[in-house]
Amino acid sequence: MADVTLEALLEEGRTFAPSAEFVRDALVHDGSLATAADADVEAFWAAQARDLLDWDQDFHTVLEWDLPYAKWFVGGKLNVSYNCLDRHVAAGHGAQVAFLWEGEPGDARAITYAELLAEVCRTANALRALGVEKGDRVALYLGMVPELPIAMLACARIGAAHSVVFGGFSADSLRDRIKDADAKLLVTGDGAWRRGSVVPLKEIADEAMAEAPSIERCLVLRRTAHEGVPMQDGRDVWWHDVVASQPSECAPVPMDAEDLLYLLYTSGTTGKPKGIMHTTGGYLTQVAFTHKYVFDLHPDTDVFWCTADCGWVTGHSYIVYGPLANRTTSVIYEGTPDHPDKDRFWSIVAKYRVTTLYTAPTAIRTFMKWGTEYPDRHDLSSLRLLGSVGEPINPEAWVWYWQHIGGGRCPVVDTWWQTETGAIMISPLPGATVAKPGSATFPLPGIGAEIVNDEGDAVSIPGGGYLVLTQPWPSMLRGIWGDPERYRETYWSRFFGRYFAGDGAKRDADGYYWLLGRVDDIMLVAGHNISTTEVESALVSHPAVAEAAVVGKTDETTGQAVAAFVILRSGNEASHRLVGELRDHVAEVIGPIAKPKSVLFAEDLPKTRSGKIMRRLLRNVAEDEALGDTTTLADPNVVAGIKARYLADAPDDEE
Window contacting ligand WT7 (CB under 6 A); options: 39-47, 137-145, 238-246, 501-509? 501-509
Secondary structure (H, E, C), 560-605? EEEEEEEEECCCCCCCHHHHHHHHHHHHHHCCHHHCCCEEEECCCC
**Distance of closest approach, residue 529 Cβ to ligand WT7, in angstroms:** 4
138 binds ligand WT7 (CB under 6 A): no
Nearer to ligand WT7, 84 or 389 (CB): 389
From the list 167, 335, 392, 596, which residue makes contact with ligand WT7 (rule: CB under 6 A)?
A: 392
**Distance of closest approach, residue 318 Cβ to ligand WT7, in angstroms:** 9
Listed residue (115, 30, 56) closest to 433, CA to CA = 30
Nearer to ligand WT7, 271 or 636 (CB): 271
391 binds ligand WT7 (CB under 6 A): yes
Distance CA 328, CA 332 (A): 12
Distance CA 23, CA 20 (A): 5
Nearer to ligand WT7, 176 or 414 (CB): 414
264 binds ligand WT7 (CB under 6 A): no
Window contacting ligand WT7 (CB under 6 A); options: 287-295, 331-339, 497-505, 564-572? 497-505
In contact, 227 and 257? CB cutoff 8 Å: no
Among the residues of 477-559, which ranges form H helices?
484-492, 532-540
From the CB of residue 544, how many other CB atoms can be counted at a distance below 10 Å?
Answer: 17
Identity of residue 577: R
Dihedral sign for Cα 384, 33, 414, 473, please: negative
Nearer to ligand WT7, 274 or 583 (CB): 274
Distance CA 51, CA 473 (A): 17
**Distance of closest approach, residue 542 Cβ to ligand WT7, in angstroms:** 26
**Distance of closest approach, residue 358 Cβ to ligand WT7, in angstroms:** 10
Measured between its terminal Cα atoms, the distance across the chain in Å is 34
284 binds ligand WT7 (CB under 6 A): no
Distance CA 172, CA 177 (A): 9
**Distance of closest approach, residue 57 Cβ to ligand WT7, in angstroms:** 31
416 binds ligand WT7 (CB under 6 A): yes
- Angle CA 518–309–266, to nearest 5: 40
**Distance of closest approach, residue 68 Cβ to ligand WT7, in angstroms:** 18
> Which strand (E) or helix (H) includes residue 240?
helix 239-242
Q: By rule CB under 6 A, what string of x and - marks binding of each residue 314-343 to ligand WT7?
A: x-----------------------------
Q: Following DSSP, what letter does each residue of 602-621 receive, concatenated?
A: -S---BBTT--B-HHHHHHH
Tell me whether residue 348 is exposed, middle or buried, using C-beta atoms within 10 angstroms of its C-beta: 0 to 12, 13 to 18, 19 or more. Answer: buried
In contact, 375 and 350? CB cutoff 8 Å: no
417 binds ligand WT7 (CB under 6 A): yes
Q: By rule CB under 6 A, what string of x and - marks binding of each residue 523-562 to ligand WT7?
A: -x--x-x---------------------------------
Nearer to ligand WT7, 323 or 527 (CB): 527
Nearer to ligand WT7, 189 or 438 (CB): 438
Window contacting ligand WT7 (CB under 6 A); options: 53-61, 334-342, 410-418, 610-618? 410-418
Identity of residue 96: Q
**Distance of closest approach, residue 299 Cβ to ligand WT7, in angstroms:** 23
**Distance of closest approach, residue 212 Cβ to ligand WT7, in angstroms:** 24
Residues near 101 by beta carbon (within 8 Å), at least 6 away in sequence: 107, 108, 109, 110, 111, 145, 146, 331, 332, 333, 334
173 binds ligand WT7 (CB under 6 A): no
Residues near 66 by beta carbon (within 8 Å), at least 6 away in sequence: none
Cα dihedral 399/286/320/112 (nearest 10): -100
**Distance of closest approach, residue 499 Cβ to ligand WT7, in angstroms:** 11
Distance CA 571, CA 168 (A): 34
**Distance of closest approach, residue 568 Cβ to ligand WT7, in angstroms:** 32
265 binds ligand WT7 (CB under 6 A): no
Window contacting ligand WT7 (CB under 6 A); options: 29-37, 241-249, 413-421, 480-488? 413-421
Nearer to ligand WT7, 252 or 559 (CB): 559
389 binds ligand WT7 (CB under 6 A): yes
503 binds ligand WT7 (CB under 6 A): yes
Residue 68: cis peptide before it, omega within 30 degrees of 0: yes
Listed residue (293, 278, 281, 269) closest to 164, CA to CA = 278
- Could you tell me how many residues of this chain bind ligand WT7 (CB under 6 A)? 23
Window contacting ligand WT7 (CB under 6 A); options: 134-142, 154-162, 414-422, 488-496? 414-422
From the list 287, 313, 324, 423, which residue makes contact with ligand WT7 (rule: CB under 6 A)?
A: 313
Identity of residue 641: G
Helix axes 281-294, 41-52, angle to 10 degrees: 90
φ, ψ for residue 613, nearest 5 deg: -65, 130
- Give SS3 for 306: strand
Distance CA 71, CA 63 (A): 6
In contact, 405 and 383? CB cutoff 8 Å: yes
Distance CA 327, CA 323 (A): 6
Nearer to ligand WT7, 83 or 415 (CB): 415
**Distance of closest approach, residue 594 Cβ to ligand WT7, in angstroms:** 13
400 binds ligand WT7 (CB under 6 A): no
From the list 419, 439, 532, 620, which residue makes contact with ligand WT7 (rule: CB under 6 A)?
A: 419
Classify strands 499-507 and 513-518 as parallel, antiparallel or unpaired. antiparallel
**Distance of closest approach, residue 506 Cβ to ligand WT7, in angstroms:** 12
From the list 125, 285, 415, 558, which residue makes contact with ligand WT7 (rule: CB under 6 A)?
A: 415
- Give SS3 for 61: strand
307 binds ligand WT7 (CB under 6 A): no
515 binds ligand WT7 (CB under 6 A): yes
Cα dihedral 21/22/24/25 (nearest 10): 130
Using the 8-state DSSP alphabet, how is residue 321 labeled? I
Identity of residue 594: A
**Distance of closest approach, residue 69 Cβ to ligand WT7, in angstroms:** 20
Window contacting ligand WT7 (CB under 6 A); options: 250-258, 416-424, 454-462, 605-613? 416-424
**Distance of closest approach, residue 490 Cβ to ligand WT7, in angstroms:** 12
**Distance of closest approach, residue 397 Cβ to ligand WT7, in angstroms:** 12
**Distance of closest approach, residue 229 Cβ to ligand WT7, in angstroms:** 32
Nearer to ligand WT7, 68 or 273 (CB): 273
Interface residues toward ligand WT7, by CB under 6 A: 266, 313-314, 389-392, 414-419, 440, 501-503, 515, 517-518, 524, 527, 529
